[in-house]
Structure 1
Amino acid sequence: MITVNKKWLRLIGIVGCTVWMASCKQATDAGVKPSYATMKVEVADKELSTSYSATIRGRQDIDIYPQVSGTIEKLCVTEGQTVRRGQLLFVIDQIPYRAALKTATANVEAARAAMATAELTYKSNKELYAQKVVSEFSLKTAENTFLTAKAQLTQAEAQETNARNNLSYTEVKSPSDGVVGALPYRAGALVSANIPYPLTTVSDNSDMYVYFSMNENQLLALTRQYGSMDEALKNMPEVELVLNDNSVYNKKGIIESISGVIDRQTGTVMARVVFPNESRLLHSGASGTVVVPSIYKDCIAIPQGATVQMQDKVVVYKVVDGKAVSTLVTVSGISDGREYVVLSGLNPGDEIVSEGAGLMREGTQVK
């Protein structure tokens, strides 16, 4: 007679129960069908906002270089000072240029006197030639001397003008209204037109230019949305500027221009927005983010989670007779990272899988 150890019987019972429970769970799981979130496609007005990294520049950032050489005698402004057009910024040593002007002025007087003498001689010879007192050679010689003296006067006057201009260039003035930038050169520094850095930069910041880049697809979408680039610039809504500290600038800007040439290296075009800057909060050289809204009338918008990207194709899954049917759609190149505006491929009333489309398969039962 075979005797079975009670411990072995207990172990066999536990294993049997475990196998039975697992088989029951599998049977239960097999009977449950997964459910998917779906949505009915509807037509509505939609506003999508797209963000672009941007750089801020003054309306004019003018580098100021001296037009004459010399030592700086006087600085008439300070860094950050607001200046008006024509206001004096620097004075360069004027002594040599005043002396040059005096010399040029004296040369003009001498040339004018020489011309007057040559003119008298020519007129005298002209009368004597008429009386057959002097030869034709003497007359021609006197005429040529007069013409030479006349030319020398013109040359001396040009030199005087040049000397006068050089003297005026010793007073460096602001070419526009704006704000003075850094002043790397101080009184006593020797400067010339070939210095490595400008004397300063005058930034016209009454209005600020904010530059950002958009790619080719975004440019095409914008053109299609409005019909042409000119219409887009006329009808695009105002844009916002998010500053580097994530605060939103309190004035809105207008897209003033979009470059018509695509950069071959980056595949982008440059756009320029104008922002008013009465408070002088914006500074040339700063950075920020431009938020551009795009308004679509009577459009179909779907979540991006409802789409599957297949190379350059976008696919959604329609629910037809309770099954998933893949459908190619065309979407706008402008999106806010959450939704797509569908241009073709869907109609109002269509039912689509709104979440987890990447896990779907053709013909999947949709509960």
Structure 2
Amino acid sequence: MGLSEAFPMKGGDGPHSYAKNSTLQRNYLEVAKEVMKEAIAEKLDIGALNSPKTFCIADLGCSVGPNTFAAVEIIIEGVKTKYDQSQSLSSQIPQFQVFFNDHVSNDFNMLFTSLPQDKQYYAAGVPGSFYERLFPEASLHFVHSCSSLHWLSRVPEEVTNKNSPAWNKGRIHYGNSGDEVIRAYKAQRERDMDKFLQFRAQEVVHGGLMLVNCTFNHNGTHPSQCTCNLILDLLGSCLMDLARKGRISEEKVDSFNLPMYFMTPQEMEAAVERNGCFSIERMETLPSPRPGNGGNESLVHQMAARVRAGMEDVIPQHFGEDIMDEFLDLYRQKIREIFIPFVAKLAGGIEERLLLVLKRKY
């Protein structure tokens, strides 16, 4: 895997595209919607922003839509309400400029062809990793990121090095691996989070807000007990099954690791404290949306469809074009036999979401 590997979601609007298989991420927004509006109402000091004629919003990790448009709509409605409720500024509602950011390999054509016709903002695309500088100094008033910050900038180098104690042989992720592998992933997460906050501190105006909506691992809980880590571990297990069948080589599995890490609230707080440029205005857990009424088989189908939307370009590129259907069949079987019983035993159900509201210090 390259040192700056990008894993774009499946583009286009076909049946396996991210645009058609991202309802779970949309539900994450719905769960957070009211809290987002409250955060804007309570924490955004529009008077301190010097009444900008143009209010600039960035959505980091926007993918191809339509969820990013829903997030932007929530933010703009919240900001407009804030202006309407201000007696001195109610007549000075600014224009809105929205920057949609994702990797250069993201399907921006799909993103922009599906822009809402009745949008209340000017739209622009900003290609690049959010672990790099993306915007001019003090140019953003509001930054949003949902279901994106668990992606690392790269796979930790140690986990694919046969001579390293962190060599992650036979696995593609850290969730159920040894302590050395977990530490390697955590160290990469810390480096990346430091960069993320460092660059956002340069780009966000003093008094500006940043909202991060992400899946998290509970403080003090081993990564193997995080359901999102279990999902990734099952993907690796499917690949190892294919290796045992001789369909792919085990060496290919050993060289394939997913650059994802789910932070704990404690780790998030520590990162913000290390940076020193943001104050935590609000940090709370939100319940994850529960599956619909279609039963377990519907859940199995939905989870396989999401994996296909996220991995259909990545898995064949690394392992060959002809294994995807067999890979997904194995995955569905493991969801039935392992994931669903695991979740059923959890007292609180599937783990919650973390919503973090940060304000750029003055």
TM-score for the superposition, normalised by structure 2? 0.19
Richer in helix (by share): 2
RCO higher in 1 or 2 (8 Å CA, sep ≥ 6)?
1
Higher CA-based Rg: 1
